[in-house]
Chains A and B, each alone.
Chain A
Amino acid sequence: MQAKAKSRSLDIRIQPGISQSCQKCKWGIEDPTDPARGQCIGSRTKIGSIWKRMIHDYYNSTCEKFEEGEVSFRDHV
């Protein structure tokens, strides 16, 4: 299906041992069930809601938008 080609997760790539991993990124948070996985909360819609993406390998993934730091709870879902 066309859907597969339009996946939103394509820009998150697995790179084993990456120092700038999603786990260290401001926009990465632990998956609430399995802490080996993560969620990216860096994508925000026009009206301010967060459109999450799942990070299958939280410690070995990264993307071009890596930023260090922490997000205040005010900016979470």
Chain B
Amino acid sequence: MATRHESIQYKGKVIEFPYDNQAEELIPDEELHEHLAKPTTDRTKRLKDRCRWKHATAGEFVEESVRAGIERMRLLTEGHKNSEGKPEVLRRAMILANILNKGTVVLQEDEIIVGYHAESPNWVPLYPELSYMAVQDYIQSRYAPQPVEEAKEINEYWKKHSLQAKCETYFEPIDLLRMYQVSTMEAPPFATGYNSMIPPYETVLEDGLLKRIELAEQHIKKAKEELSAPYWNAPERLDLVPKIDNWNAMIIADKAVIAWARRHARLCKIVAENFETDPKRKEELLMLSDICQRVPAEPAVGLRDAMQSKWFTYLICHAIDRYASGYAHKADKLLWPYYQTSIIEKSFQPMTHEDAVELFECERLKISEHGAGKSRGYREIFPGSNDLFIFTLGGINRDGSDGCNDCTDAILEAARNIRTTEPSIVFRWNPKGRLKTKRLVFECIRDGLGYPSIKHDTLNTAQMLYYSQFSKNNNGATIEEARDWANVLCMSPGLVGRRKSQKTRNEGGGAIFPAKILEITLNNGFDWSYSDMQLGLETGDPRKFKTFEDLWEAFRKQYQYCMSLSIRAKDIARYWEIRTLQMPFTSSIDDGCMELGMDCMELSEQPNGWQNPITSVVAANSLVAIKKLIYDEKKYTMEQLVEALHANWEGFEQMHQDFKDAPKWGNDDEYADPIIKRFYEDILSGEMVKITNYSGGPVMPVGQAVGLYMEIGSRTGPTPDGRFGGEAADDGGISPYMGTDKKGPTAVLRSVSKVDSGTQKANLLNQRLSVPIMRSVHGFKIWLAYMNTWCDLNIDHVQFNVVSTEEMKAAQREPEKHQDLIVRVSGFSARFVDISTFGQNCIIARNEQDFGPADLEYLGVEF
């Protein structure tokens, strides 16, 4: 039997909490999530049962069949060698064409969205042009591309030509070592190949690539006329030469993409006519053949066109031309016109709402088996998941009207029904959002998916406008464009649409780790606990610090050193991306690049700089404990603290208890909260915004965690908040440390709301809510009141785990019986049984928030 929440005495009434769905009361707590999946059709059930998952954990792929393919790296290298001597941007286009013309095209049974990016649906491609170290790791592993000797030879070739090789020369070896060890800062993208971007899907779906080719041809024609007009003027005209190269590269790339899509059309037809025996599937394959023949060459007309065209664009931008994590787009806005055509008007590719839900379930499964050839580091830090695939829904439209529509609902229904860890969803919470859609958001969360995570719509739109003022060409976001945003990855918003979207992680992304920075600040910049080396600046012996401010300022210097180095590394990588990693296909689908004849690596109209502080709350709680016990109460000396930390608190038990008992974040505490607010605003943000990145704008903090809160915890010694060496850090952004938020959910909201959201680009708030409350007849009402309060308090973000400890412990005992148990780790959701025991225990240790009468009253709940 399921546990029913105890009744509550509230405003003179006794409130009972029967389950919303009475039948669920018969399901034991330990197995609830195994009863929630309801694939919409037999097809999506079959596709889920046979899904070629690419989940990774502890740096390894979970499924045995995953290997690295050699095809992409081989064709890339061949293309690079064959195009020697050409302008670099044309080389990049020719390389893409070489991969697309000669690479393997894949079709799988049952699927209605087609296309893959390696020579086997079980494999992942590699990117030696980005990082030779990441490829070297694959070569040494059981996933090594075959023949391995050829792979080694290819990687050797790229050791000279890769982005990593080009960037490394600008840094001292000690700085590279400090960055590469990922304990005070994340390794720069040039060392890992990790990237993120937002492709302008809108132009592909609305215009089609033939139209984009025509536009480029017109620009070339006009430019050549201008070049040859009388009275040559070099300052005015010489810039047209690289523009012509860019437009020509766009044409080569677009033609190659069209031909590649049409190879899929041919494959579908060949299979229909020569292999398939089921007449219904034959018909379906011929339909898919027709779609791939038309899109992305032509504009999408119906929903099936739009989904296929989007998928092809995604594969090129995120997996074939270059690797980029993420699945950033505003899906309901992008697809709504095609939903209307096919489902409401039924004028092309007519279908029912349920057919649309099936299509969205298929998309989720397609993403679930997408293989990212990412480095070991990124296979470690998203444990239990595939990659960071996140798209956005809801909010408001460009004209300010409610952005929720029936397509939003179909996408949410698909997520709720099929139950996959990917892709995750962000929901933009706006008071204008319709209740029907918010109810579906609730149902996904209540069912334990961990998504949608929720972002404050108005705050983030305002942020887009804030960044626009720094635009280098005075063409940042207008108010209409500012309303058109999606999360780039887990947390940070960026513009979507026909132009001005972010194209590289060197603009925004990458992490900095305040807990480790505090640890080395307490050791004059030396890392005694992990790497045994001078990891930061020599900021002085903390035992000689006279005041708390001395420590504060020493921390500031260490933090600024890491920040400046991190952003310098990204901007130097940007410098080389502009010169050797152009993306002519992506440029061709960006209206700005097309108009100006510029490559998308170079053109940045809307700044969007950020870096992610991860482990901030451990550092902040530690500073609170130090201030209270050493500088205010003088109960201990800094010398004693340093000694206790070096002993991992052994022999210092009382002292450990005192530091552990010091006030902690998330309890609406009068002592802790002002210090922590200052930490977020004066240091985390205050120091970041002093930096200006390539795009001319400030860099702002995006507090989050991914799986790095565990990884960095394991590389961080004991900390003054009472943590032991190696223990996990806080699980995200502005979330209280696990188990230390003891005053209920509304105290957490009050603490978090004290930090001015306008000083931060984003801040992740993880909350774990009671299953019996959320599944009760009052679940939606209480959650809605919570969300409205959260919105009124101007908090940037919140996401929820709704899963019982009983069920997680049952899954630890018998993992094979709990394949559908999903948990929210950080900005992504994961299959619980694919996480290490330590990671699982960290989720279990999060405080489950219940709602008492005081919370309900604060939220204004009426029964």
Contacts and interface: CB of A to CB of B under 8 A. Distances in A.
State if A and B touch, Cβ cutoff 8 Å: yes
A39 to B, nearest CB: 8
A9 interface: yes
Given A30-B140, A33-B181, A49-B724, A77 B646 contact: no
B837 A35 contact: no
Nearest to A4: B526
Interface string B130-146: 00010011001000000
Contacts of B133: 33-35
A76 interface: yes
B132 to A, nearest CB: 10
B181 A54 contact: yes
A54 B535 CA distance: 12
B715 A33 contact: no
Contact of B182 (A6, A7, A33): A33
Nearest to B532: A9
Contacts of A9: 531-532
Interface stretch (B82-90, B219-227, B247-255, B374-382): B374-382
Interface in A20-35: 29-35
Given A49-B724, A52-B530, A30 B59 contact: yes
A41 B265 CA distance: 50
A6 B646 contact: yes
Contacts of B369: none
Residue of B191, B380, B530, B717 with highest tally of chain A CB at under 10 A: B530
A41 B727 CA distance: 13
B137 A35 contact: yes
A1 B526 contact: yes
Contact of B532 (A35, A45, A46, A54): A54
Contacts of A8: 528-530, 532, 717
B726 A49 contact: yes
Contacts of A74: 836-837
Interface residues of B, number: 49
Contacts of B182: 32-33
A6 to B, nearest CB: 5
Contact of B57 (A47, A48, A76): A76
B325 to A, nearest CB: 15
B526 A33 contact: no
Residue of B180, B379, B710, B838 with highest tally of chain A CB at under 10 A: B838
A5 to B, nearest CB: 9
Contact of B726 (A4, A52, A56): A52
Contacts, number: 129
Nearest to B845: A47
Nearest to B381: A32
Interface in B354-380: 375-377, 379-380
B380 A3 contact: no
A77 B136 CA distance: 23
A3 B526 contact: yes
Contacts of B648: 45
Interface residues of A, number: 36
B108 interface: no
Interface in A23-70: 29-35, 37, 41, 43-54, 56
Contacts of A30: 59, 137, 140, 376
Interface in B738-778: none
Contacts of A45: 648, 724-727
B530 A1 contact: no
Contact of B728 (A1, A4, A29, A49): A49
B446 to A, nearest CB: 29
Residue of B642, B728, B836, B839 with highest tally of chain A CB at under 10 A: B836
Interface string B149-175: 000000000000000000000000000
Contact of A73 (B58, B191, B714, B728): B58
Contacts of B58: 73, 76-77
Contact of B715 (A10, A52, A75): A52
Contacts of A48: 837-838, 841
B528 A6 contact: yes
Contact of A50 (B181, B379, B529, B726): B726
Contact of B181 (A7, A31, A49): A31
Residue of A1, A29, A37, A45 with highest tally of chain B CB at under 10 A: A1
A22 to B, nearest CB: 14
A74 B725 CA distance: 20
B461 interface: no
Nearest to B839: A77
Given A74-B836, A77-B839, A32 B375 contact: yes
A3 B836 contact: no
Contact of B727 (A4, A7, A47, A75): A47
B838 A50 contact: yes
A67 B711 CA distance: 23
Contacts of A75: 836-838
B192 interface: yes
Contact of B714 (A7, A37, A46, A50): A50
B335 interface: no
Contacts of B711: 77
Interface in B163-199: 180-182, 187, 191-192
B1 to A, nearest CB: 31
A58 to B, nearest CB: 10
B115 interface: no
A25 B726 CA distance: 20
Nearest to A48: B838
B735 interface: no
Contacts of A56: 531-532
Contact of B523 (A1, A29, A50, A77): A1
A32 B724 contact: no
A9 B646 CA distance: 13
Interface string B519-531: 0000110101111
B302 interface: no
A35 B376 CA distance: 9
A2 B646 contact: yes
B698 to A, nearest CB: 27
Nearest to B727: A49
A44 B648 CA distance: 12
B713 interface: yes
A18 to B, nearest CB: 18
Interface string B100-139: 0000000000000000000000000000000001001100
Given A3-B524, A7-B532, A77-B711, A35 B726 contact: no
Interface of A: 1-4, 6-10, 29-35, 37, 41, 43-54, 56, 73-77
28 contacts: A2-B643, A2-B646, A3-B526, A4-B526, A4-B528, A8-B529, A8-B530, A8-B532, A9-B531, A30-B140, A32-B182, A32-B375, A33-B181, A35-B133, A35-B136, A35-B376, A45-B648, A45-B725, A49-B724, A49-B727, A49-B838, A50-B714, A51-B717, A75-B836, A75-B838, A76-B58, A76-B836, A77-B711
In the complex, the 5 A-B pairs of residues with the closest C-beta atoms, listed nearest first: A51-B726, A32-B377, A76-B58, A9-B532, A73-B58
